[in-house]
Homo-oligomer: A and B are copies of this chain.
């Protein structure tokens, strides 16, 4: 796993990022990922929010073909809740990318271009800047200027670092990826834009299966603040340029490992994070129970503020799990902080109030003693930084 490489690590992909003027700050804000082929297979997942941004609605449509030539992504505006005009803006952006690529000699239709946007909900994008940016970015790519790092930087919002990773398989094929996301992150896709690329030979169905399985165990189990966005999009593109055809399980494994690494990066850069917390429920009657329980604790404001204060306030964890929609027997339940039992056999342990939680990583483990299933959810603490960042975001 190499974090200095991203979407351009696999053969057959170009990418870059530019400052198109969408962000008032002048920072990078427009990214293009281009698949040079020979294959153009693609799969994707989008937010389960009923309120979907215009680019999500567009991308859902183009994904039905199982084929993508390019992905254009912008930060500086979500283009969500912008009505029919917002959808026209997305369509015009895809058309502009297709036209510019065609002018460059790569015959492309708008239907082969996915669009992703991230930023404040509710404002239309400055389309003059977006469209001239599209011309410029295609020109840069055509001229051979390519930089996965710039692309990863151009999709950042409140992210403090670009996030990318590449996994080179021993059989000579590669999966690369970039992701953005810092707040509004909850299961049913951690809120984010993510593009994965591979030079493995794999059709849309194989890509979709690998992505679906990986997301269920990674992005869907990252929960920073319980809030699910309007713009979540995860795309997986294959160029087939390695001419290697991995088995489904090899592909599944590689995509899972890449997504898992991206989740760790998202957690570590979450808004206001001072603690990286993993909540694990074991001994559950079903994996679903375990996941629901872990999510409840991961979302509990009193647990999250206590952990911000390095306070082993295990009573809040027990009180939280007591609200689960399945049977919880407190007498049989065991709680651990960082592997140290704090509640077992129906009573607190002698050292329960003295567990050292001053480190940056905290493991909260709840054993329900009700079965053999388990699940983990990654989250962060609820800090002054989170409140600060989110009380002054749009203004």
Contacts and interface: CB of A to CB of B under 8 A. Distances in A.
A390 interface: yes
Interface residues of A, number: 64
Number of copies: 2
Contact of A391 (B227, B308, B343): B308
Contacts of A306: 390-391, 393-394
Contact of A318 (B51, B302, B314): B51
A392 B308 CA distance: 9
Nearest to A324: B50
Interface string A70-93: 000000001011111000000000
A300 B391 CA distance: 13
Contacts of A347: 81-83
Nearest to A188: B323
> What are the nearest 7 A-B pairs in CB distance?
A121-B315, A309-B391, A51-B322, A305-B390, A122-B315, A49-B322, A83-B347
A38 interface: no
A50 B227 CA distance: 26
Interface in A311-367: 311, 313-316, 318-324, 327-328, 330, 343, 346-348, 352-353
Contacts of A78: 315
B353 A323 contact: no
Interface of A: 48-52, 78, 80-84, 120-122, 183-184, 188, 225-230, 299-302, 305-306, 308-309, 311, 313-316, 318-324, 327-328, 330, 343, 346-348, 352-353, 382-384, 386-388, 390-395
B314 A122 contact: yes
A322 B230 contact: yes
A313 B26 CA distance: 23
B301 A390 contact: yes
Contact of A302 (B122, B311, B322, B390): B390
